[in-house]
Amino acid sequence: MKSTHHSRRTGKPRAVRSVAAAAAASAMLLTGCSSGESGPPTLTWYVNPDDGGQAVLAKECSDASGGKYQIQTSLLPRDASSQREQLARRLAAGDASMDIMSLDPPFVPELAEPGFLAKPPKDVAEATTEDTLEGPLKGATWNGELVAVPFWANTQLLWYRESAAKAAGLDMSKPITWDQIVKAAKSQDKYLGVQGTRGESMSVWVNGLVESGGGQIVTDGEAGQDAKVSLDSEAGRKAAEVIGTIGKEGLGGPGLATQDENASMIQFQGDKGSFMVNWPFIYSASKAAVKEGSLKQSVVDDIKWTTWPRVAADKESAPPLGGINLGVGKASQHQDLAWDAVQCIVSSEHQAQYFATNGNPPSSAKAFDDPEVKKAYPMADTIRKSLDAAKPRAQTPYYNEISSAIQQNWTPPSEVTEDTPRETTEFIQEVLKGDALL
Amino acid sequence: MSTTVDSRARAAAPEKPRKKKAQLSDRARSERKLGWLLAGPAFVIMLLVTLYPIVQALWDSLFSFRLTAPGDKEFVFLGNYATVLSDIVFWRDLGVTLLITVVTVLVELVLGLALALVMHSAIKATRGLLRTAILVPYGIITVVSAFAWFYAFDITTGYVNHWLSWLPMIGPDFNWFASAGPSLFVIMASEIWKTTPFISLLLLSGLAQVPGELSEAARVDGASSWQRLVRVILPNMKAAIMVAVVFRALDAFRIFDNVFIMTQGQYGTETLSLLAYRTSIGRLEIGLGSAISVILFICVMIIALVAIKVFKVDLTGGSGEGK
């Protein structure tokens, strides 16, 4: 009381107090205000943008913890590459707020190799992977050890307009090949829905084609900079033939060179749509467009699905694999609680709920049997089948370099030739050695 | 007589600065002190926020250093510079950057001068409205304007193809962002639209400094409008023109936002600053990325030095002489 009067009377002490208060406020801001907080510790979960499903799970698991912790979500950028950039920078700087992270599987090795990720305790690893599908499990493993926990898994399907398939005389109950859909689109003067833009979607397409042809882009990713690039193979050349034909003959539509997943979906919904390889989000997005009034119900009724096209008629396809794994930062101050929260988030009930509400398929086999899932996604069985056959992208700490090099050499699709696989292989090797810019 | 005056003047000349220094009044001294006190903190902060990152980048550029492989950090001296300067990607990106700089600055100069002349000769009542209208694009954030231009030209969402359908090569299926030429055209058009007002304002101030009597005298002597512009007005506003050119050239050389939003550098549209960003931030190759940033910095310094030393541009005000 006394000091208040004093400060009111004289200017100088008040100024000193203001400076002290400002300094204290700045210090609080710099330290993140967390140390002095009362109540349960707050876990930060860095999430990729979705329809709000991760925020709901964060709340449910916070409530279920019985006051042990509170999970607060923090939104990462929209695209996978920018998410990786932010996570890598924060992890490299030893950011203690990296409690839980939603990680895109191809970038897991890059973050696990320098020890940025905490390894899941044995009991957590066992409990969270007992019924995980093989592909997603592989994507969460590095150097033979589980370094993250699969949360949801994604795969691409072959979506088609029933009317177009019928007009082309294709029996869609049997496995379909790339050559067949190329021929069908050509004969019907329709467009194929593929992603030809210079982005991760191009690496996904190339990887799917190479793996389906029995090849691999990188054979020993663990070797890091010395990894063997094996794109210059029969499978690589067949992949170049498919992409080059679609590009040169204009079968991907006029916007192919800049077409991403969303743009190809819009084209597929149009009059010239026929076949499209894409992720399951297109089904919920099309239904939402009907609700908004921007798409006719008859279009959605005409959309059907089957597994990814084969490269060779007698060999099962290896569809692209995506999804999200959950990792815990090595610098996190609440690692035990974070693993506890991860265990709650990835439970098969939560995975089923997340699929039904947000359209992202589960990595747990059990979750596919949930009646809610079957009701919301009639193609759930096809997704499950596709996930079983799906192959991950190259697992290496240098995935970003390999993917960027593929994107640069395989776009625009109209310029892809039989020499592209060899040129890409040489380019990747030079980049990995540090002899070339990307 | 005149020789006497001249020699006296010459003899007095070297003493002049010494005399001036000796005669510095108390008031002038305290004003100078106040000047340092006022500008000092800003100067120190500028040093901290600009010099520190520059020195750090210089230091980092000497290492092979990847953010996700901190254990493999290795001193390579000028190795990163050798890699960058011997790579075709760097020279291609430098070419694109120079092309954008030269074309945009030239077009902006012509358009800016035209707008400045319009503003200068507009009747007083409309001057304020005119200046505000011309300044609107400059007030828009570059990222926002880049998105607006992108969506206008994009094949899925755009309407420009419809507008320009009377042109022989442009139909509804024309993809502006599928190759270097059309992409760079849109990028440069957006850049010109956005920054021409800045140049026009700088030129307007130069135009205001041209004495009206000169133009008037030329008119009386029978000079046409074009002759008055080329022979009287332009030579007298050379200094303002050079300042505008240098400011814009330095700015255009560092172009980033428009390219990043519209093409992300794909199909031969990458500029040097985007290459530095992709290497440092995208690839997390701090050493290599820093080397590119340092080279970019040196390029900007060279442009500024050439402008100041060769073209004698006075950046401190419009009174300098541009030769």
Distance between CA atoms of residues A297 and A281, nearest Å: 17
pLDDT at A31: 44
Instruction: List the single residue in B68, B281, B283 with the smallest CB-CB distance to A397.
Output: B68
Q: Which residues of B touch A401 (CB under 8 A)?
A: 283
- Chain B interface, best mutation among A189, A248, A437, by max B CB count within 10 A: A437
ipTM for the whole complex: 0.84
State whether B267 and A257 contact (CB < 8 Å).
yes
User: Is there a shared CATH topology between the A42-147+322-389 domain and the A155-320+395-433 domain?
Assistant: yes
State whether B68 and A114 contact (CB < 8 Å).
yes
From the CA of A313, how many Å to the nearest CA of chain B?
Answer: 33
Domain residue ranges in chain A: 42-147+322-389, 155-320+395-433
State whether B267 and A198 contact (CB < 8 Å).
yes
B279 touches chain A (CB under 8 A): yes
State whether A411 and B267 contact (CB < 8 Å).
yes
Instruction: List the single residue in B68, B83, B173 with the smallest CB-CB distance to A434.
Output: B83
From the CA of A174, how many Å to the nearest CA of chain B?
Answer: 33
From the CA of A92, how many Å to the nearest CA of chain B?
Answer: 7
State whether A198 and B266 contact (CB < 8 Å).
yes
Instruction: List the single residue in B70, B83, B178 with the smallest CB-CB distance to A257.
Output: B178
Supply the Cα-derived Rg of chain A in whole angstroms. Answer: 25
- CATH, domain range A42-147+322-389: 3.40.190.10
Taking a contact as any Cβ pair under 8 Å apart, which residues of chain A between 103 and 122 contact chain B?
A: 110-111, 113-114, 116
A56 touches chain B (CB under 8 A): no
Size of interface A-B (CB pairs under 8 A): 80
Instruction: List the single residue in B83, B175, B281 with the smallest CB-CB distance to A257.
Output: B175
Partners of A43 in beta bridges: A71
B157 touches chain A (CB under 8 A): no
B132-143 pLDDT, tens digit per residue, is: 888 899 999 999
pLDDT at A225: 87
Cα A295 versus chain centre, distance: 27
Q: Which residues of A touch B281 (CB under 8 A)?
A: 85
B213 touches chain A (CB under 8 A): no
State whether B68 and A116 contact (CB < 8 Å).
yes
Residue reference for tokens 């950039």? A85
List of chain A residues with pLDDT < 70: 1-37
pLDDT at B36: 92
Residue reference for tokens 């026009």? B200
State whether B70 and A401 contact (CB < 8 Å).
no
State whether B68 and A411 contact (CB < 8 Å).
no
Nearest CA in chain A to B281: A85
Instruction: List the single residue in A92, A258, A266 with the smallest CB-CB distance to B70.
Output: A92
DSSP-derived secondary structure letter, A19: H
Q: Which residues of B touch A437 (CB under 8 A)?
A: 83-84, 87, 89-90, 275, 279, 288
State whether B175 and A397 contact (CB < 8 Å).
no
pLDDT at B323: 37
| Domain A155-320+395-433 is found in CATH 3.40.190.10 | yes
List of chain B residues with pLDDT < 50: 1-19, 318-323
- Read off the tokens for A410: 């395989």
Report long-range pairs for A173-177 (Cβ below 8 Å, ≥24 apart). A175/A307, A175/A310, A175/A313, A175/A316, A175/A317, A176/A306, A176/A309, A176/A310, A177/A309, A177/A310, A177/A311, A177/A312, A177/A313
Q: Which residues of A touch B87 (CB under 8 A)?
A: 436-437
Instruction: List the single residue in B87, B178, B279 with the smallest CB-CB distance to A258.
Output: B178
pLDDT at A223: 87
pLDDT at B19: 47
Q: Which residues of B touch A435 (CB under 8 A)?
A: 83
Domains of chain B: 2-60 (no CATH), 87-310 (1.10.3720.10)
Run of H or E residues at A247:
helix A234-248
Q: Model-level pTM?
A: 0.86
pLDDT at B156: 87
Taking a contact as any Cβ pair under 8 Å apart, which residues of chain B between 284 and 323 contact chain A?
A: 284, 288
DSSP string, A198-241: SSHHHHHHHHHHHHHTT--SBS-GGGGGGPPB--SSHHHHHHHH
From the CA of B262, how many Å to the nearest CA of chain A?
Answer: 11
Q: Which residues of B touch A263 (CB under 8 A)?
A: 156
